[in-house]
Amino acid sequence: MKDENKKIRLALLGFGNAGQAFAALLASKRGEIKERYGKDVQVTAIATASKGNLLAASGASAAAGEAGEAGAGAAAGAKAIDLDAVLADLAQHGRFTDQALLCELDTMEIVKTADYDVLIEMTPLNILSGRPAIDHIEAAFARGKHVITANKGPIAWKFRDLQQQALRAGCGFFYETTVMDGTPVFNLCEKTLPLAQVSAVSGILNSTTNFILEELARGAAYDDIMERGRAMGFIEADPAMDIEGYDAAAKITALLNVLMDAGLTPDQVERKGIENITAADIKNAAERGKVIKLICRGWRDGEGRIRASVRPEEVDAGDMLASVNSTTSVVSITTDLMKTVSIVEHEPEIEQTAYGIFGDLLRVLSEC
């Protein structure tokens, strides 16, 4: 008989669109998780940059007295945060207002002192260093906590070391959401391609640039494309990280680090964005039966070194890559035993990102 009283406590770092979608999914599936996995999943801490920080405890003053720290919630027996109530509060006020849960601890203090079993890192990406997300993950491993990250920075900048830290601490470390939202790329390779050695990875991994290039090909004005993309929620106020290829470079680095043990960092990727691609370039390519796409590639060169590139390329109009439209992404993985396998993610919404995090949580419940 499953022990449905076994509590698994989560600390959520970041509560933007993905965090809120994950919270809603978790709240809706909590009963099914109890039934199937015999675990009662509870959220005991939520840390944000602008909405406030929440900490559940069995009595703030008692916890502070036991822990000897102001506002500490690390006392055993922490109560759960009501996710439905938190989401309703946020929808109404745009921030957290529950005085019984609000705390003065900053994000790192929560990581180091809160009562949780699994840290879920969803803070905004620092594409130039991967920090402070790396610091959060390392602090969690130091406490023997499992980690799920939706933040690609740590995987792109320090994956090999973080993986070793997790192994030494006996902790689970999962990161499916970091490249293609909830699409099972890492899980697919790990679970279904045993002993198959990856020799190359390629694909279209940045939906923003894919959308922009397609709209330019249709004759849309650049400013109109930007406005529409922002209204749809996937083009940032400052899209430079996408347009100049930084996001794609981080994603191909993450893929190579996990699938090929590359030990690369994004600054080692040969990177060129689409900022200089014009409607005339796209028209000229079309007249030759070509389509311009921002292509990510990773391969092992003749000396055994793993190299990576991100650059606009002309592909044949009949090529699979040419048919990847709008916000769809694709990754192709070439192996020695299974040859090339391609995975397509069709126009994802935030629910796919939430499911990626949720899927990693289910791995923690079943494997850790």
Q: pLDDT band at residue 132, thresholds of 50, 70 and 90? A: very high
Tracing tokens 């959520």 back to the chain, one arrives at: 12
195 versus 326: which is more confidently predicted? 195
- 143 vs 346: CA distance, rounded Å: 38
Q: pLDDT by residue (tens digit) across 6-47?
A: 899 999 999 999 999 999 999 999 999 999 999 999 999 999
- Inform me whether the pLDDT recorded for 326 exceeds 90: no
Of residues 228, 234, 200, the one with CA closest to residue 216: 228
**What pLDDT does residue 78 have?**
55
Q: Which domains does the chain have, with CATH numbers?
A: 6-182+351-367 (3.40.50.720), 191-347 (3.30.360.10)
Is the Cα torsion angle 95, 23, 330, 255 positive or negative in sign? positive
Contact 8, 365 (CB under 8 A): yes
Contact 292, 281 (CB under 8 A): yes
Q: pLDDT by residue (tens digit) across 178-201?
A: 999 989 999 999 999 999 999 999
- The predicted model scores a pTM of 0.91
Tell me what percent of the residues of the chain surpass a pLDDT of 90.
Answer: 85
- Inform me whether the pLDDT recorded for 75 exceeds 80: no
Other Cβ atoms less than 10 A from the Cβ of 135: the count is: 14
Other Cβ atoms less than 10 A from the Cβ of 119: the count is: 25
